[in-house]
Amino acid sequence: MERAASGDERAFATLVDRHLGPILALARRMLGDDAEAEDVAQETLIRLWNHASRFDRKRARLSTWLYRITSNLCIDRLRGRKVQPLDDVPEIKTDPEQDRSVHERQLSQRMDIALGGLPERQRLALTLFHYQELSMKEAADIMDISVEALESLLARARRSVKRELEPEWKALLPDNG
Tens-digit pLDDT profile for the chain (177 aa)?
Answer: 888 888 889 999 999 999 999 999 999 989 988 999 999 999 999 999 998 888 888 888 899 899 999 999 999 998 887 544 444 444 545 455 555 556 566 667 777 788 888 899 999 999 899 888 899 999 999 999 999 999 999 999 999 988 888 876 666 555 544
Structural domain boundaries in the chain: 1-83, 98-177
1-83 CATH: 1.10.1740.10
Please check whether the domain covering 98-177 is classified as CATH 1.20.120.530: no
**163, burial (CB in 10 Å: exposed 0-12, middle 13-18, buried 19+):** exposed
Task: Tell me what pLDDT residue 171 has.
Answer: 62
Q: Evaluate if pTM is beyond 0.85.
A: no
